Protein backbone atom coordinates (compact mmCIF):
# COMPACT_ATOMS: atom_id res chain seq x y z
CA UNK A 1 0.00 0.00 0.00
CA UNK A 2 1.39 3.40 -0.97
CA UNK A 3 1.51 6.49 1.21
CA UNK A 4 -1.29 7.98 -0.86
CA UNK A 5 -3.45 4.93 -0.20
CA UNK A 6 -2.75 5.25 3.53
CA UNK A 7 -3.85 8.89 3.57
CA UNK A 8 -6.92 8.04 1.46
CA UNK A 9 -7.96 5.33 3.90
CA UNK A 10 -7.35 7.55 6.92
CA UNK A 11 -9.27 10.43 5.37
CA UNK A 12 -12.12 8.14 4.34
CA UNK A 13 -12.45 6.81 7.88
CA UNK A 14 -12.12 10.29 9.40
CA UNK A 15 -14.78 11.75 7.09
CA UNK A 16 -17.13 8.97 8.11
CA UNK A 17 -16.34 9.62 11.77
CA UNK A 18 -16.88 13.37 11.36
CA UNK A 19 -20.25 12.75 9.75
CA UNK A 20 -21.32 10.56 12.67
CA UNK A 21 -19.95 13.03 15.23
CA UNK A 22 -21.80 15.93 13.60
CA UNK A 23 -25.05 13.99 13.55
CA UNK A 24 -24.65 12.88 17.17
CA UNK A 25 -23.89 16.45 18.29
CA UNK A 26 -26.89 17.72 16.31
CA UNK A 27 -29.10 15.27 18.21
CA UNK A 28 -27.56 16.15 21.57
CA UNK A 29 -28.20 19.85 20.98
CA UNK A 30 -31.60 19.68 19.34
CA UNK A 31 -32.75 22.64 21.45
CA UNK A 32 -30.10 24.81 19.74
CA UNK A 33 -31.98 24.96 16.47
CA UNK A 34 -29.36 26.77 14.39
CA UNK A 35 -26.62 24.40 15.53
CA UNK A 36 -28.81 21.36 14.98
CA UNK A 37 -29.71 22.26 11.40
CA UNK A 38 -26.29 23.45 10.28
CA UNK A 39 -24.53 20.44 11.83
CA UNK A 40 -26.94 18.13 10.01
CA UNK A 41 -26.30 19.97 6.74
CA UNK A 42 -22.50 19.92 6.97
CA UNK A 43 -22.55 16.25 7.99
CA UNK A 44 -23.83 15.56 4.47
CA UNK A 45 -20.59 16.98 3.08
CA UNK A 46 -18.54 14.48 5.04
CA UNK A 47 -20.81 11.65 3.86
CA UNK A 48 -20.35 12.83 0.28
CA UNK A 49 -16.59 13.05 0.74
CA UNK A 50 -16.40 9.49 2.07
CA UNK A 51 -18.55 8.26 -0.82
CA UNK A 52 -16.38 10.03 -3.38
CA UNK A 53 -13.20 8.69 -1.76
CA UNK A 54 -14.62 5.16 -1.88
CA UNK A 55 -15.45 5.65 -5.56
CA UNK A 56 -11.76 6.02 -6.36
CA UNK A 57 -11.60 2.24 -6.36
CA UNK A 58 -8.67 1.95 -4.00
CA UNK A 59 -10.11 -0.72 -1.72
CA UNK A 60 -12.00 1.62 0.60
CA UNK A 61 -15.27 0.59 2.14
CA UNK A 62 -18.47 2.41 1.21
CA UNK A 63 -20.48 4.92 3.22
CA UNK A 64 -21.85 3.93 6.58
CA UNK A 65 -25.43 2.89 6.87
CA UNK A 66 -27.57 5.20 8.94
CA UNK A 67 -29.10 3.35 11.85
CA UNK A 68 -32.85 3.42 12.02
CA UNK A 69 -34.17 5.59 14.83
CA UNK A 70 -34.80 3.46 17.85
CA UNK A 71 -34.97 3.62 21.59
CA UNK A 72 -31.57 5.33 21.89
CA UNK A 73 -32.58 8.12 19.49
CA UNK A 74 -35.83 8.67 21.37
CA UNK A 75 -33.91 8.79 24.66
CA UNK A 76 -31.47 11.36 23.22
CA UNK A 77 -34.35 13.51 22.05
CA UNK A 78 -36.05 13.40 25.46
CA UNK A 79 -32.76 14.24 27.20
CA UNK A 80 -32.20 17.14 24.82
CA UNK A 81 -35.68 18.49 25.55
CA UNK A 82 -35.22 18.07 29.29
CA UNK A 83 -31.84 19.79 29.36
CA UNK A 84 -32.98 22.61 27.13
CA UNK A 85 -30.65 25.57 27.46
CA UNK A 86 -29.11 24.97 30.88
CA UNK A 87 -25.54 26.21 31.49
CA UNK A 88 -24.19 22.64 31.57
CA UNK A 89 -25.63 22.08 28.13
CA UNK A 90 -23.76 25.13 26.86
CA UNK A 91 -20.46 23.76 28.11
CA UNK A 92 -21.22 20.44 26.46
CA UNK A 93 -21.94 22.31 23.22
CA UNK A 94 -18.56 24.08 23.43
CA UNK A 95 -16.88 20.75 24.09
CA UNK A 96 -18.60 19.23 21.06
CA UNK A 97 -17.69 22.23 18.89
CA UNK A 98 -14.05 21.93 19.93
CA UNK A 99 -13.96 18.25 19.04
CA UNK A 100 -15.74 18.85 15.72
CA UNK A 101 -13.34 21.66 14.86
CA UNK A 102 -10.28 19.53 15.58
CA UNK A 103 -11.70 16.69 13.48
CA UNK A 104 -12.31 19.07 10.57
CA UNK A 105 -8.77 20.45 10.92
CA UNK A 106 -7.36 16.92 10.79
CA UNK A 107 -9.38 16.21 7.64
CA UNK A 108 -8.22 19.46 6.08
CA UNK A 109 -4.60 18.51 6.64
CA UNK A 110 -5.19 15.16 4.95
CA UNK A 111 -6.88 16.86 2.00
CA UNK A 112 -3.87 19.19 1.73
CA UNK A 113 -1.45 16.24 1.75
CA UNK A 114 -3.48 14.55 -0.97
CA UNK A 115 -3.49 17.74 -3.04
CA UNK A 116 0.29 17.93 -2.87
CA UNK A 117 0.68 14.26 -3.75
CA UNK A 118 -1.82 14.54 -6.62
CA UNK A 119 0.11 17.47 -8.06
CA UNK A 120 3.41 15.63 -7.72
CA UNK A 121 2.09 12.47 -9.39
CA UNK A 122 -0.17 14.33 -11.83
CA UNK A 123 -3.19 12.29 -10.76
CA UNK A 124 -5.93 14.38 -12.31
CA UNK A 125 -8.87 12.48 -10.74
CA UNK A 126 -7.40 12.82 -7.26
CA UNK A 127 -6.68 16.51 -7.75
CA UNK A 128 -10.26 17.07 -8.96
CA UNK A 129 -11.60 15.26 -5.90
CA UNK A 130 -9.48 17.36 -3.55
CA UNK A 131 -10.52 20.54 -5.35
CA UNK A 132 -14.18 19.64 -4.90
CA UNK A 133 -14.06 18.42 -1.30
CA UNK A 134 -11.40 20.41 0.52
CA UNK A 135 -13.25 23.76 0.30
CA UNK A 136 -16.23 22.18 2.08
CA UNK A 137 -13.95 20.91 4.84
CA UNK A 138 -12.53 24.41 5.19
CA UNK A 139 -16.11 25.69 5.54
CA UNK A 140 -16.76 23.10 8.27
CA UNK A 141 -13.70 24.44 10.10
CA UNK A 142 -14.79 28.06 9.72
CA UNK A 143 -18.31 27.24 10.91
CA UNK A 144 -17.14 25.46 14.08
CA UNK A 145 -14.60 28.20 14.78
CA UNK A 146 -17.23 30.93 14.33
CA UNK A 147 -19.68 29.10 16.59
CA UNK A 148 -16.98 28.83 19.28
CA UNK A 149 -16.21 32.55 19.00
CA UNK A 150 -19.88 33.51 19.18
CA UNK A 151 -20.92 31.16 21.99
CA UNK A 152 -17.81 31.10 24.23
CA UNK A 153 -18.17 34.48 25.93
CA UNK A 154 -21.78 34.00 26.97
CA UNK A 155 -21.55 30.31 27.86
CA UNK A 156 -18.27 30.50 29.77
CA UNK A 157 -19.27 33.56 31.78
CA UNK A 158 -22.69 32.17 32.69
CA UNK A 159 -21.43 28.70 33.67
- 64 DSSP assignment: P
pLDDT averaged over consecutive 10-residue blocks of the chain (159 residues)? 89 97 95 94 98 85 44 48 57 94 98 97 96 98 97 85
**137 φ/ψ angles, rounded to the nearest 5 degrees:** -65, -40
What is the pLDDT at residue 159? 64
Q: How many domains does the chain have?
A: 1
Model-level pTM greater than 0.85? no
CATH number for position 59: 1.20.1260.10
What is the pLDDT at residue 90? 81
Mean of all residue pLDDT scores within the chain: 86
Q: What is the extent of the structural domain holding 54? A: 3-158
Amino acid sequence: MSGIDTVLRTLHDDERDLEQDLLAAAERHRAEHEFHHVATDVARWSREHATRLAALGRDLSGPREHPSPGALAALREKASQALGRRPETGLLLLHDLRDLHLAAVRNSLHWEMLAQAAQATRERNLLELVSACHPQTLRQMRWTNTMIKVLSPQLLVSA
